[in-house]
Amino acid sequence: MSELAQKTATMLDMLPVTEQRLAYEMLKRLVLAWDSDYTKLTPAERAALDDAEKEIENGETVSEDAINWDA
């Protein structure tokens, strides 16, 4: 979790429970407006995906055919 996310969570936790729900709903609306179908990648997700694609290209992964799924 990023430092900003941790600070946000800490501030949210300081609010009364009734206000926490309001703040949560506001954040949720912001996220949905930015990415309504949750398909955008965060920088960390993009980096992990790029690393995985490089591993596949370099043959550093195991083919699913090479796995004995019945073992």
Is residue 66 assigned to a domain? no
What is residue 42's predicted lDDT score, i.e. its pLDDT?
85
Q: Residue 13 in contact with residue 20, Cβ under 8 Å?
A: yes
Does residue 70 fall inside a structural domain?
no
What 3-state class would DSSP assign to 21? helix
Q: How many domains does the chain have?
A: 1
Which helix or strand (DSSP H or E) is residue 55 part of?
Answer: helix 43-57
Predicted confidence (pLDDT) per residue in 2-44, tens digit:
899 999 999 999 999 999 999 999 999 999 998 988 889 988 9
Q: Is residue 11 part of a domain?
A: yes
SS3 content of the chain, % helix, strand, coil (to 5): 70, 0, 30
Q: Cα-atom radius of gyration of the chain, to the nearest Å?
A: 20
Instruction: Tell whether 71 is covered by a domain.
Output: no
Give me the domain span that covers residue 38: 3-61
